[in-house]
Amino acid sequence: MKKVGVLAVQGNFSLHQAALESAGVPASHILTVRTVEELGNVDRLIIPGGESTTVGLLLKRYGLGDAIQARAQGGMPLWGTCMGMILMAKAIEGRDQYSLNLLDITVKRNAFGAQVHSFEDEVQMTGVEPNLLGVFIRAPIVTEWGSAVEPMGWYQSKVVAVKQGKRIGTSFHPELTTDTRLHQYFLSL
């Protein structure tokens, strides 16, 4: 069985670990990733929610961002949730901040408002029935995407999930629900 990494620089990585276990991954095959060396021990990586400016600076400072880019360009499946999708984006509206540039998308940060405007609601996903419950916390939306990007999730006609090859981004937090369908989908890539 493949080893799944969860970036553990900052943010709520432990809930992704629990969701992966619920999706059938043995705990021994779920590794936290904080260094370039630890990244070398995994076959796929989840970048969880958190604070994109802070995590971006840390990834850049310690060379982990370059290592993630190299692994993704080499075919490693990658999934960014909320902050992770922001970090994977090619561009961030109104911001000049570090980005991994691994999804050909432009995102708008905090598109639904501040922390106090967090909410849960159904997300329409391509090929997923019934709809998923999306937990939106200072969530971004995708405002532009390139021809290689497939929009795969919508909330009120706004794109909140995308796929580009073996890379996916979701603006919501599936790890905060008991539904492991997106984790299982990521494991199938």
Q: How far apart are CA 148 and CA 146, in angstroms?
A: 6
What positions carry a catalytic annotation? 82, 173, 175
SS3 content of the chain, % helix, strand, coil (to 5): 30, 35, 35
The answer to whether residues 5 and 45 touch, using CB atoms and an 8 Å cutoff, is: yes
Q: How many CB atoms lie within 10 A of CB 29?
A: 15
- Left, alpha or beta for 65 (phi > 0: left; psi -120 to 50: alpha)? alpha
